[in-house]
Amino acid sequence: MPEELIARPLDASHGIPPSVGRRALDITVALTGLTLLSVPLLLVVYLLVRLTSRGPGIFRQTRVGQGGRPFTMYKFRTMRQGVGGLTVTATHDPRVTRVGRVLRRYYLDEIPQLVNVLRGDMTLVGPRPETYDLAVYYDDRWRWIFDHRPGMTGVSQVRFRDTDVLPPGEEVDLAFYVKRLAPAQAAVDEVYLGDPSMRATLRTLFDTVWYVLGFRVAPLRVRPDGTVTEAPAPVPPPETARPAEEPGSAA
């Protein structure tokens, strides 16, 4: 590990909760989604995960919540158990199972997070729920992102491509993630978090559905000075790098 990467604990605080309107939307969507999907879809996906690879169907991990406080996040497992590798899941990572790739492409692996939304651990739209293994290496300039409640989806998840900051042939390792990728993601998320209105929230949810269905969503790119601009993107959009969800293996 490079010497300049120094792990420092996060300072917990009350953070910045979503507005009353956003919280009401969270509860409504989470209850509706869990009611409609609980039996037919959740059970089928759970069985597919269990029957196609060894390990639990549901993956649980402690993530950084609002104000830097920990919470347990739930997802369908998408990565093989007991396989070592990078801290960050790169594009075409061999640890991801065949079923896992389908679940990730259509965001089906994140459906259990509706439970987190209902409990108030997460919100529908917000920054990525970061792992503590990565968060402790964040520079002070970007730790403000942990003040906010993490989201099931967000502007950086839908409108940011890691290939915009990843030079050809370079791997997504810990140093690249915390020095280049995480700051760029935070800059893109700030576009929404600077004014998380109900209109902006609904727009991001619409963009997410549009993206999952395979339609083009104009990406946001981050210039070297940190300015975020809109730019055209290829279709279909490439898969973005995602943090590995199990130490030493993947989920």
Mean pLDDT value of segment 96-121: 94
Where is average pLDDT lowest: 115-119, 121-125, 230-234?
A: 230-234
Q: pLDDT tens across 135-153, in order? A: 999 999 999 999 999 999 9
Q: What is the 3-state secondary structure (H, E, C) of the chain?
A: CCCCCCCCCCCCCCCECCCHHHHHHHHHHHHHHHHHHCCHHHHHHHHHHHHHCCCCCEEEEEEECHHHCEEEEEEECCECCCCCCCCEECCCCCCECHHHHHHHHCCHHHCCHHHHHHHCCCEEECCCCCEHHHHCCCCHHHHHHHHECCEEECHHHHHCCHHHCCCCCCCCCHHHHHHHHHHHHHHHHHHHHCCCCHHHHHHHHHHHHHHHCCCCCCCEEECCCCCEEECCCCCCCCCCCEECCECCECC
Q: Where are the domains of the chain?
A: 20-243
The pLDDT, as a whole number, for residue 230 is 86
Q: pLDDT tens across 174-213, in order? A: 888 999 899 999 999 999 999 999 999 999 999 999 999 9
